[in-house]
Structure 1
């Protein structure tokens, strides 16, 4: 938590979650609670959720809209930019309280493709450099709006009794899909089942540097704005017919193609995955507990029918009664449990090494390779071996790492 989550860019929100001035979202960066908020000048801030007086949180709601943040303990109030605006009965302080010296502490914030990241390190490398080759995949993923802006429309939250790195492995693990997701595959039509038989297909996994990786399961769906003349899949024919009442054919095809999601999963180290048709956010709670947020992506201002289809697809796989995530989380729990058996047994991360080759962006191997896991663990090792780290007792220090 200190060496990784306090020492790199951490994803905190999608811009659509704080779309208007006063919109806020409470979350965590590592151990530390923060509030993501957009001010009246349209600037996004990430503020430590801690009153500067006696340390009470100033926000307990998950999301909403407000004009200010007021501490419920003694009434200190803060503006949307974190500035201290009001102190009840200030006369008792005499001349020893300068409000300008006590704003809510701010993290450094940068944004790319609508994705908002924050860091405790004021001298952290620019976000664009940190993301590197992952940026082009982020751009492709954001085409899921089908011509409309994308919007986070809600999420499922749950915890599993296991270390966060167990889940980190999962997003670019194609090897498990036909095994653990048999129940899911039994619920889809034959055409979809064949499309999802990607372990035997032409996909690949690529190390993108800095712990980031991408797993391409369905190469034909890398760019959702390409191949619009391709036949509409049978499972979307009814949706397409409904959309034709309000949209021309080229737009219908663009929307339908976007509804099904991208043909790849993108892992952004350490805590966010752009996974086919949703955002997967992980938050370490302790060494043996992890919280997961599965946030569904919809089209902001797009057709109700298209968004309804997106929600049903999300519920089918990611929902608590879905056919995908419950099976995944069972496996994660078993890994945590099984890891306690034996004291000197290594896990294997060498799948795909014989066919791995160097690319301009990193290293690539077949779609069931463990290339993405190796990328994440190499970055984990790099940060864990750094000679300087942010101490857990620090609020927002500025440090450098080796």
Structure 2
């Protein structure tokens, strides 16, 4: 439930609307605890939120523990292969009924008083029920179950039963999700274990980062100095032909390397120098030339970042999931994508690339996290200052699916904050 009442909501609607302008947002969106509390209700409890990829739930009883906003949930596959998202809270005295990050279970049992629940959340057993007499209705005391829908293997949940269908919410983003799922090189996608870390900053600071090409050649100089010249030229995209597009409902895509939008196209293109050894190893293992080219292109990842509002980014070759902790703290999960059943040497190559940039000893993540924390620190300075989001606005054009501007434009951020405004001002 909300920590602010209906009167507070009515008084704040006008304020929320004023805080987001077409070319800027107020700094209080990063720093005001009351705004953060409102976001947990008006956004994370009121829209579709990504919770898992289907590959994380391969079998009956497979589960994953995660959060929607700050509410703990269990994502689980039942005996009929249906996926459920259940509040991780016993209906008796509120203890969590599952603590492992992931695993397999036959049921969920509260460790405090032994209430037991089936994989679909139904209440199955109560120890020593005699004391309740006729004052308990088991069919009404199952784990709270959320609405769940799936697209392209991506599982989303919502607290709102009357919310629009997921396919409508995703809109033009579906095209980019389909393209992103070509990462398998002919094999199904399998999500690797998450690399988790926290930074001292608001969740929206990270949300902005996924479609922010402007910072890349500046903050990631150390990373660019660590790669070969051919890769460095490929990543010199700020002045290139790429673009950022607003896809509606807060979603956006940043196309950095247009020739890598579709990993199934242009398979005849030369194999990059950094992958020649991998390609030869695959040939030595008996893979055909076409298979080698598909696998190698998949290892390198696609040429775009896709932001799905509010909490999931499909970024070149990995998922980035954000979890709000407080107004000034956020947890990030980086999850590399591998080829389920694919060649071990290709999956190893993908993981090494992931570690090079995203890993705890990598070049990219520490630099990004430092910048995010500096934004939060600087946001404490001044009482009535604004965050500028007007880059690329002058050249922005309307398309059939949204608005588009150059690759270093802040179009994606403007899209996210317009959705923020829509949700925060809704009744």
Name the TM-score class by shorter chain: over 0.9
CA distance in 1, matches of 2:134, 2:158: 34
Q: In structure 1, which of residues 198, 201, 214 is the aligned counterpart of residue 240 of structure 2?
A: 201
Structure 2: where are the runs of 5+ without partners?
1-39
2:118 to 79, 90, 93: 79
- Residue 385 of structure 1 corresponds to 425
Q: CA deviation at 1:348?
A: 1.0
Partner SS state of residue 178, structure 1: helix
Match of 1:256 among 296, 300, 303: 296
Where do residues 307-346 of structure 1 align in structure 2 (5 Å cutoff)?
A: 307-346=347-386
The Cα of 1:95 is off from its aligned counterpart by 2.5
Work out which of the residue numbers 230, 233, 243 in structure 1 matches 2:272.
233
Aligned partners of 1:347, 1:87: CA distance in 2, in Å? 54
| Aligned match of 2:202 | 163
- Runs of 4+ residues over 4 Å off in structure 1: none
> Counterpart of 1:394?
none
Alpha-carbon separation, structure 1, partners of 2:209 and 2:245: 15
1:397 match: none
Equivalents in 2 of 1:68, 1:269: separation in Å? 32
Instruction: Show the counterpart of 1:367.
Output: 407
Between the aligned partners of 2:132 and 2:423, the Cα distance in structure 1 is 44
For residue 177 of structure 1, the aligned residue among 209, 216, 225 is 216
Corresponding residue for residue 391 of structure 1: none
How far apart, in 1, do the equivalents of 2:136 and 2:341 lie? 47
Question: How much has 1:385 moved relative to structure 2?
Answer: 1.2
DSSP-derived class of the 2:238 partner: helix
Paired with 1:191 and 1:314, the residues of 2 have a C-alpha distance of 18
CA offsets per residue over residues 182-230 of structure 1, 9 Å max, x none? 0000000000000000001100000000000000000000000000000
Distance (whole Å) between structure 2 residues aligned to residue 254 and residue 279 of structure 1: 21
Matches of residues 1-400 of structure 1 in structure 2 within 5 Å?
Answer: 1-244=40-283, 245-387=285-427
* Residue correspondences, number: 387
- The structural deviation recorded for 1:19 is 1.3
Relative to total residues, which structure has the larger helix share, 1 or 2? Answer: 2
Deviation at 1:345, TM superposition (A): 2.1
> What's the CA shift string for 1:39-95, capped at 9, x where partnerless?
010000000000011110001111111101000000111110001111111222223
| Secondary structure at the counterpart of residue 292 of structure 1 | strand
Question: How far 1:16 moved relative to its partner?
Answer: 0.5
Q: Could you tell me which residue of structure 2 aligns to residue 400 of structure 1?
A: none
State the Cα deviation string for residues 137-177 of structure 1 (Å, max 9, x = none).
00000000001110111111011111101000000000000
In structure 1, distance between residues paired with 2:41 and 2:134: 37
CA distance in 2, matches of 1:246, 1:285: 48
Q: Using the alignment, how far apart are the partners of 2:209 and 2:172 within structure 1?
A: 21
Q: Distance in 1 between matches of 2:286 and 2:187?
A: 15
Q: Determine helix, strand or coil for the equivalent of 1:309.
A: helix
Shift of 1:96: 2.4
- The equivalent of 2:10 in structure 1 is none
Stretches of structure 1 that go unaligned for 5 or more consecutive residues are: 388-402
How big is each residue's C-alpha offset from its partner over 1:328-351, in whole Å with a ceiling of 9 and x where there is no partner? 000000000011112222121000
TM-score, normalisation: structure 1: 0.95
- Residue 44 of structure 2 aligns to a residue in which SS? coil
